[in-house]
């Protein structure tokens, strides 16, 4: 079955450490997104990519970085510059161009600070 | 930037009853799309219903329907014959430029027997 796979499900970060969250999709979607979810805040956009080797900052990109070397993969790195990384992170994808196409979501990664 | 407002942090409904969740949004665009997503305790994001702004007819999916008032920039979700499995966080979302979704802060729905 097609879908989005996020790993790991749980991740712990030490002070000063960079960590990478994986997101893989086999839906052949062009566009991919990273959202952060905090209690009472809804989902906020971190980065998105409409095509391979291209990506744009979202509303809260500071302290994060991404790459899009392959269509199916869009990893998110939480750098040591992100001072409050504890949150639930969701990856999503959609067919590019069709605004009414829904975004498909992965099951998420919960990141905590040790 | 477009804002999406869900004014009800929590709502409660009895099983088999009907409940309406509110959503308003702010935009200067005329062509856009609106969505309701459900997030149960498993934290999966599940699409409930979507509405194209150019369509006057309100979208319906089984027990779920919307009341889309374009002039008022309102997009409420009505759940009929509520079931225990409907208990979840519900997020209203607006599809903005370049296809990123802009979410409201959510409404937590409790369904009581």
DSSP structure string for chain B: --EEE---SEEEEETT--EEE--EEE-S-SS-EEEEEEE-TT---EEEEEEETT--SPPEETTEEEEEETTTTEEEEEE-S--GGG-EEEEEEEE-GGG-EEE---EEEEEE-
d(CA B13, CA B31): 34
Choosing among A45, A88, A99, which should be mutated to test the B contact, i.e. which has the most B CBs within 10 A? A99
**B44 has a chain A CB within 8 A of its CB:** yes
Mean pLDDT calculated for residue range B85-101: 87
Structure tokens at B68: 């889309």
Which band of pLDDT confidence, cut at 50, 70 and 90, is reported for residue B98?
low
The string of pLDDT tens digits covering residues B13-39 is 999 999 999 999 998 888 889 999 999
Mean pLDDT calculated for residue range B54-73: 93
- Chain CA centroid to CA B74, Å: 10
**Set of chain B residues whose Cβ sits within 8 Å of the Cβ of A41:** 105
d(CA B19, CA B9): 14
Picking from A23, A17, A28, A20, the residue whose alpha carbon sits closest to that of residue A48 is A23
The string of pLDDT tens digits covering residues A32-86 is 999 999 987 789 999 999 999 999 999 999 999 999 999 999 999 999 988 899 9
**Set of chain B residues whose Cβ sits within 8 Å of the Cβ of A107:** 42-44
């Amino acid at each position: 079955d097609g879908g989005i796979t996020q790993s790991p499900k749980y991740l712990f970060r030490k002070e000063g450490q960079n960590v990478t969250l994986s997101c893989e999709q086999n839906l052949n979607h062009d566009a991919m997104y990273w959202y952060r979810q905090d209690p009472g805040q809804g989902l906020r956009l971190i980065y998105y990519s409409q095509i391979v080797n291209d990506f744009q900052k979202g509303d809260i990109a500071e302290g994060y970085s991404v790459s899009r070397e392959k269509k199916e993969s869009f990893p998110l790195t939480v750098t040591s510059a992100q001072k409050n990384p504890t949150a639930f992170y969701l990856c999503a994808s959609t067919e590019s161009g069709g605004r009414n196409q829904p975004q498909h979501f992965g099951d998420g990664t919960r990141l905590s600070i040790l | 930037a477009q804002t999406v407002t869900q004014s009800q942090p929590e709502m409660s409904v009895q099983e088999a009853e009907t409940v309406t969740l509110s959503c308003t949004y702010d935009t200067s665009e005329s062509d856009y799309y609106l969505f309701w997503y459900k997030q149960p305790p498993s934290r999966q994001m599940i699409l409930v219903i979507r509405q194209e702004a150019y369509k006057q007819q309100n979208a319906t999916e089984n027990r779920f329907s919307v009341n889309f008032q374009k002039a008022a920039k309102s997009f409420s979700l009505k759940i009929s014959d509520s079931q225990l499995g409907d208990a979840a966080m519900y997020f209203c979302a607006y599809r903005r430029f370049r296809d990123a979704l802009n979410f409201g802060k959510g409404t937590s729905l409790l369904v009581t027997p």
